[in-house]
Amino acid sequence: MSLFEDKSEKMTSVKSLGEFRLIEHLTSGIAPKNTSTIMGIGDDAAVIDMGEKYQLVSTDLLVEGVHFDLAYMPLKHLGYKAVAINVSDICAMNGDVKQITIGLALSNRYTVEALEELYEGVKLACERYGVDLIGGDTTSSTAGLMISITALGEVEKDKVTYRAGAKVNDLVVCTGDLGAAYLGLQLLNREKGIFKENPTIQPDLSGNDYVLERQLKPEAAIKYIKILKELEIIPTSMIDVSDGLSSEVLHLAKSSDVGITIHEDKIPVDYTAMNLANELNINPIFCAINGGEDYELLFTIAQENYEKLKKDPDFTIIGFVTDKSEGNNFIANDGSSHLLTAQGWDSMKNS
């Protein structure tokens, strides 16, 4: 082999694998060496045996220009959101969040005052969620702002919920409503575009407080975890909705080795989000299925828990668990059945 051989043909682009396959690829062959590692890679948080309880650990990274645009994201909101989305992953394990650490990389464009604003949001979220900020790291960056947060939580051993665990005939439940965060982003992008073309035009965001709040200041699902505890329901499987409903349904189904069927007419969408979707000419169900960043919980329960849960409007039963052989399906309003894919459902482009 020549030393100067062009190896470029053998290179694989990260894009060709996609995020999930890349993680699988890079971490293949990694098996826990310590008996205390109960769950390593592959769920919303890692699970560590600490004796009486399990400890939960989860990390998320937010990158300027990828996850947020400071043209419309106030730094205080960004700080709050960065904490909330990490707390969300602890909730997805049915756990209570306790501590966070924060890693910051900053370009020299940031002033102390700007970072104070960011930390106002962080502190507010820590107050709201009862979390202690216990450390982190700060360094410089050549490309904007990056915030990496690690959240630590705990859960009683018999209450931990994984992505795996859904059983055939279980009910599929979703908290709150879906799609609004994506619509908030579409609205902000529209107004940013208009402002760029003509800076004298003021942004028209009136009447859309809900979708904007869902995008700019999402809340972690702590209140739903509390309700489930009160109702004495332990979901058989659970995940948080960070990437859109279809992607999360596929994660639960794959991890649990089952199929999942969801019904279009059951998917909860807020009415102001629905109105905005119509105005923007977007299918609101597309936003719910594919949008992401709603930070609701998606979980499965045994049918015997249906009576306990059905009266609470916070929870919507959107489908049921089937044998794996039936695949993952989306039943449209007209009764037609479609295969659910990571990008939505197979006929989405036509609907």
From 144, 140, 143, 46, select the one nearest 86 (Cα to Cα).
Answer: 46
Residue list 76-105, contact with Mg ion (CB under 5 A): 89
Q: Among 14, 23, 143, 168, which residue interacts with ligand ADP (rule: CB under 6 A)?
A: 23
Q: Does 314 bind Mg ion (CB under 5 A)?
A: no
Burial of 218 (0-12, 13-18, 19+ CB in 10 A): buried
Q: Does 89 bind ligand ADP (CB under 6 A)?
A: yes
Residues 211-250 as x/- pattern, contact with ligand ADP by CB under 6 A: -------------------------------x--------
Least CB distance to ligand ADP at residue 202 (A)? 36
The binder of 41, among Mg ion, ligand ADP, none, by C-beta within 5 to 8 A per type, is ligand ADP
Q: Does 296 bind Mg ion (CB under 5 A)?
A: no
Tokens representing 279 are: 């105005």
Cα–Cα distance for residue pair 274/187, rounded to 1 Å = 13
For ligand ADP, which stretch binds (CB under 6 A), given 40-48, 114-122, 177-185, 262-270?
A: 40-48
Q: Does 44 bind Mg ion (CB under 5 A)?
A: yes
Cα–Cα distance for residue pair 108/184, rounded to 1 Å = 30
How many CB atoms are located within 10 Å of the residue 31 CB?
A: 6
Residues 222-241 as x/- pattern, contact with Mg ion by CB under 5 A: ------------------x-
For ligand ADP, which stretch binds (CB under 6 A), given 37-45, 93-101, 252-260, 269-277?
A: 37-45
For residue 240, what are the β-bridge partners? 297
- CB-hemisphere CA count at 13 Å for 300? 30
For ligand ADP, which stretch binds (CB under 6 A), given 41-49, 73-81, 171-179, 333-341?
A: 41-49
Lookup result for tokens 């695949």: 327
Q: String of b and e for 140-175 (b: at least 16 CB within 10 Å)? A: ebeebbbbbbbbbbbbeeebbbbbbbbeeebbbbbb
Residues that bind Mg ion in the complex, under the rule CB under 5 A: 44, 89, 240
Residues that bind ligand ADP in the complex, under the rule CB under 6 A: 23, 27, 41-44, 60, 89, 242
